[in-house]
Chain A
Amino acid sequence: MIDFAAAADALSLLFSSATPWLVVVPGILIGLIFGAVPGLQISMAMAIFLPMTLYMDFMQAMLFLTAIFTGGSFGSGVPAILMNIPGTSSAIATAFDGYPMARKGEHNQALGLALGSSSFGVLLGYLILFALIQPISGLVLKLGPAEMFAVILWGMTLIASLSGTHMVKGLIAGMVGLLVGTIGFSEAGMLRGTLGNEYLLDGVPVIPAMMGMFAASELLRLVNTPYLVENEAARKVNIRLIVKGFFQAFRYPTVLLRGSVIGVFVGAVPGVGSSVSNLLSYIETKRRDANPDSFGQGNPKGVVASESANSTSEAGSMATLLALGIPGGGATAVMLAAFAMHNITGGPQFIREETDVVYAIIFANFGQVILLMALALMFLPMLANVVKVPMRYLIPSVLALAVFGSFGLTGNIAGPMTVLIFAVIGWLFRRYNYSVPAAVIGILLGSMAESSLLHTYQISGGELSYVLDRPVTILILCLLALSLFGNKLMKLMTARRAAKAEA
């Protein structure tokens, strides 16, 4: 599976001169900034800086772009923890426990935990990629629309279970979200639910909707709060506590490993990838924990589960890009453009003929993790100071940033309008106990769910037996059923065993 001669060539390619590394530090910094500023996206950073790669050789261009990717993947968790604004959809689950930790005054530990789990995730993800790039790419080739729909369904159903006692409302929120996600032109060319508004032809802008529902609605709820962290003594920014949080992540090796494995395999599914992997990892960790009720209240394991999965997804999406030439999301789509700019086509032939380059990209990411840790430890104390800012200054500033960022995403006033509308909806949802994350995931995956279901229908001709012939779909559906009913079945069996023993 591992070509050792190519691995040796890769090392000499990387370390024969310092030139390829010169772009890594700026790349990580750009990624950190674009990930940490609400509204700026990793893919946006990569697109903005893509023309610069024309002046680099392919290896250097890849190092630069993957450095932005690595920095951004971690950076997007920072606003999720400090302001409840997931920088990207892959950091949604980070906010579930990261933000409550910050509100309890544990922002230093939460940021450290995120850094520790992200670094571990990137490292393990690329190690798995190094060992298994060919089998993973073979597996991805077996994934069709039926499997994608099953993965979406898995993510969607599980998210409702996070609503605890309000599970029905969680399901309603998620399903309405799915409907909202299908607004606009369908794949069959039909126009639905736009009310004649031309801004909705391409559907509801997802990221502005996410910013409105998560961030703006939460900020509206906090208008009467003087500080994000109410206890003055807990507002300190402490590098020692950040480092402590970093190492604390390794106290949960099972959570880290589970998150990483989910991240690399789900991350390899084009389109769905990191948006679902962080949620699956979070939900599985919560489900298996002895105290599931502590999740959502600031349980460190929640941050570890989410961050380990979303950072490993980077390696998963790189697997599909390198081995098949299929971009899994916005960031890898920009990388594909960089491939084209250097006259390179990803795919099995690329892996076979340029194994040393592929390995060099993987090895470079190991180095990037070390640089990320150093740079993040320098920058996190500065970012964590946000807890010292009075809410009357923080709220309008973040709301304005969300408005600017949403304009940046859509290029017109539709972005800010979406933030406003979904801020009000999000506030109502929170007030009446409808799950905001479920609704957001629904909106995010709605059109993808529709097109994968439609493709499955078209390929199968409406025959249900088609699904029975697809082992991966059945496996995912079994996992879905197990996640939903596994605990109940176990409890039932234990109760029966206990009853038998008594008899």
Chain B
Amino acid sequence: MTLHRKMLADLGVLAGLAGFTIWYLLDAWKASASAENLILIVPIAAIVLLLCLLDLFTQLKKGVTDDHRNREPVASILPVMGLFAAYVLSLEWLGFDLGTVLFVGGFLLLQGERRWVWVLGYSLCFGFLVALFFANMLPYPMPMALLPTDY
């Protein structure tokens, strides 16, 4: 990533936060413009926007410092993030038991584990034992594919 693109990414996050603040302020205003509704939101939103402006000027003035500490390679993180997103989004129809087994197994394969006994053994044991434990401990029914949904 060039310095220019890094700066754009930094500014993108800043714009996202400022954008959220403006949207939330307008949404709250639309709900009611009374002091009771906006007593905290207006001053805090104003402070956020001022701070965003201050940070924008600082970034434009100083340029982006090349801080390597927090810059891990995105290419290796995005697939993991995608797998985690797929796991969470499919939980309701895959169930916590099968979903967890597939997520753990998929993660192990993605991270280079090639010993099939370990991949299958660990994901099956972990997925079903944890699902069984939580299903017993929690007072609500949990979506499951193979285990009973309620105890």
Contacts and interface: CB of A to CB of B under 8 A. Distances in A.
A172 B51 contact: yes
B40 A182 contact: yes
Contact of A392 (B51, B55, B108): B108
Contacts of B20: 176, 179
Interface string B9-37: 11001100100110010011001101111
B28 A401 contact: no
Interface of A: 40, 48, 168-169, 171-172, 175-176, 178-179, 182-183, 186-188, 190-193, 216, 220-221, 223-224, 392-393, 395-397, 399-401, 403-405, 407-408, 411-413, 416-417, 419-420, 423-424, 427-428, 430-434, 446, 449-450, 453-454, 457
A450 B113 CA distance: 49
Contacts of A193: 24, 27-28
Contact of B140 (A169, A221, A393, A411): A411
Nearest to B51: A172
A179 B21 contact: yes
Contacts of A433: 67, 70
A396 B76 contact: no
Contacts of B54: 168
Contacts of B32: 188, 190
A393 B108 contact: yes
A420 B72 CA distance: 19
Given A179-B21, A223-B76, A413-B92, 18 more contacts: A172-B52, A179-B24, A190-B32, A191-B31, A192-B24, A192-B37, A220-B77, A221-B72, A396-B107, A403-B100, A404-B131, A407-B96, A413-B91, A427-B77, A434-B17, A446-B40, A450-B40, A453-B39
Residue from A183, A190, A453 with most neighbouring chain B CB atoms (10 Å): A190
B137 A408 contact: yes
* Majority-rule SS of B interface residues: helix
Interface in B86-112: 87-89, 91-92, 96, 100, 103-104, 107-108, 111-112
B122 A407 contact: no
A450 B36 CA distance: 9
A202 B85 CA distance: 24
Nearest to A417: B88
A404 B130 CA distance: 8
A395 B108 CA distance: 10
B44 interface: yes
Contact of B39 (A223, A413, A454): A454
A454 B104 contact: no
A140 to B, nearest CB: 24
A430 to B, nearest CB: 6
Interface in B115-146: 122, 126-127, 130-131, 134, 137-140, 142
Contacts of B81: 220, 423-424, 427
B80 interface: yes
Interface of B: 9-10, 13-14, 17, 20-21, 24, 27-28, 31-32, 34-37, 39-41, 44-45, 47-48, 51-52, 54-55, 58, 67, 70-73, 76-77, 80-81, 84-85, 87-89, 91-92, 96, 100, 103-104, 107-108, 111-113, 122, 126-127, 130-131, 134, 137-140, 142
Contacts of A449: 40
Nearest to A225: B72
A224 B73 contact: yes
A400 B70 contact: no
Contacts of B126: 397, 400
B77 to A, nearest CB: 6
Contacts of B17: 172, 176, 434
B91 to A, nearest CB: 6
Contact of A175 (B13, B48, B84, B104): B48
A400 B94 CA distance: 14
Contacts of A403: 87-88, 91, 96, 100
Contact of A431 (B34, B70, B92, B108): B70
A446 B44 CA distance: 11
A12 to B, nearest CB: 38
